[in-house]
Amino acid sequence: MRRIVIYPGSFDPVTNGHIDIAKRGLKLFDQVIVAILNNPKKSYMFPVEERLQMLQESMASITNVEFDVFDGLLVDYAKMKNAQAILRGMRAVSDFEYEFQLALMNRKLNRDVQTVFLMTGLRWIFTSSSIIKEAARFGGDIDDMVPPVVSRKLKQKFAQYTR
């Protein structure tokens, strides 16, 4: 049986930290499904189609990674994809409480789907999509924190602020 893990997130935008977690997930699982939660009640900088395209381009060279978009309950999506686990990255203690609550709820909803936490690499510990967007807004150098496609798109979005 193939070991499949779902790596969910908004990926608005994808960062090098996200890519690091996906690659490390492949050391534990045969396949990683990077899945964007489509939540129409939230506002995002990039539409879901553009986030999906950035993920695909950023991880094109990585084998055994699939990309998808889903809505609804994560555990239902995991079951539909025959996944045994959910992969979550944690940067700091501040992430733990929220992630722990999600993991407990998911376990309550479906005891067959496990949650696996990976600590982010030290290089990415202070990297988040929100912080990167804020730095990019004011012309900060984000090139070593995001894939080239993301850097390019963020610079295009914020060109009006950096003139």
Catalytic sites, residue numbers: 18, 42, 91, 129
Q: Which residues lie across from 90 on neighbouring strands?
A: 119
Question: How far does the chain reach from its first CA to its final CA, in angstroms?
Answer: 55
Instruction: State the Cα–Cα distance between residues 150 and 53, nearest whole angstrom.
Output: 10
CA dist 18 and 36 (Å) reads 12
Residue length of the chain = 163
Query: In terms of C-beta density within 10 A (0-12 exposed, 13-18 middle, 19 or more buried), how is residue 87 classed?
Result: buried
